[in-house]
Amino acid sequence: MPNPAILQRGEDGIVVIEKAAATPKSCCHHHAPQTPNNGQPMAIEQLLVELRGAFEAEKAQGHVINNRQEPESFKRMNTKSYGTCNGGDWQRFALFNDIHYVRNLVEANEDFELIVICWKAGQVSRVHNHDASHCWLTVLDGDMKEVQYQRVGSQATAAAVLAAATGAERAEPVGSAVVVEPTQINAMKVGDVGYINDHLALHSVGCYLSPEDVQPAADSDSGWRQQGGVTLHLYSPPIRRVKIYEENAVTERTPGYYSKGGVRV
Ligand SMILES: [Fe+2]
């Protein structure tokens, strides 16, 4: 994770992290030695090729891909290069909806799914878990905020003890009452990458741009108009069920897709 530019602890004990300003897209052409493709923007197809290769390599070494992997065994699964240096080819997957943030599928296979999530200004997810998966989040457009949560009190201890003793995932049964509290806020800008799994925290994500801030990007010559925030999510293995932590009651849902391959479903 990049060094935070600002790190403070508020009166309520919540850690607030504001990462260093992201490098603009045009950086690719000026710092070629530090970027892939000799300074040329990375295509999303190349990212997919690299990800497929990384996961095959992990499996070839006998690693089972899930959130119990050691960090050394999944550090190659990296969306940072694409996030900091791309030509905007994610825009063809970026469909928005006025009512709710939406998940647009780029690719799903047995190892991972790559999803472009589009958030109109003010759209925020509920607090949720990530099953047994890794979750990487890369900001492609807009100003985003991630709020991490921990379970409060004896429930937190019980969940941790159960997970350690049985290998069970750290997710409570549907219908149980769980109190969570925010412990960390990550302000994220274009190019920032976050990582989370169930052993670390629960979280919610949202676009905190105000509607007045939404306008065509200054450097846009592709016809792309900023409508809010766009994030690239890499889940591994693909997430088939998500627990929602709401009003002290846990519910479960199966996440769907708003589009696949840029085509509305
Ligand atoms: Fe998430």
Annotated binding-site members for Fe cation: 128, 130, 203
Q: Looking at the predicted structure, is the pLDDT value of residue 16 above 80?
A: no
Q: How confident is the model at residue 151 (pLDDT cuts 50, 70, 90)?
A: confident
Q: If you measure from the C-alpha of residue 147 to the centroid of ligand 1, how many angstroms do you get, rounded to a whole number? A: 10
Cβ atoms 139, 188 nearer than 8 A: yes
Taking only the tens place, the pLDDT of each residue in 195-221 is: 999 989 999 999 987 777 776 655 556
Architecture, CATH, for domain 5-256:
Sandwich (2.60)
Domain boundaries, the chain: 5-256
Q: How many residues does the chain have?
A: 265
Q: Looking at the predicted structure, is the pLDDT value of residue 11 above 70?
A: no
Q: What is the DSSP string of 2-33?
A: PPEEEEEE-TTS-EEEEEPPPPPGGGGGT-GG
Least confident of 11-15, 62-66, 150-154: 11-15
Six-digit token string for 40: 């040329």
- What mean pLDDT is reported for the chain? 82
For range 123-146, the mean pLDDT: 94
Q: If you measure from the C-alpha of residue 121 to the centroid of ligand 1, how many angstroms do you get, rounded to a whole number? A: 18
Amino acid at 242: V
Annotated binding-site members: 128, 130, 203
Taking only the tens place, the pLDDT of each residue in 75-107 is: 667 788 999 999 999 999 999 999 999 999 999
Cα gap 172→164, rounded to integer Å = 14
For the entire predicted model, the pTM comes to 0.85
Q: Looking at the predicted structure, is the pLDDT value of residue 229 above 90?
A: yes
Q: If you measure from the C-alpha of residue 125 to the centroid of ligand 1, how many angstroms do you get, rounded to a whole number? A: 8
Q: If you measure from the C-alpha of residue 9 to the centroid of ligand 1, how many angstroms do you get, rounded to a whole number? A: 23
Cα gap 246→251, rounded to integer Å = 8
Bridge partner residues of 104 (DSSP): 116, 259
Q: If you measure from the C-alpha of residue 264 to the centroid of ligand 1, how many angstroms do you get, rounded to a whole number? A: 22
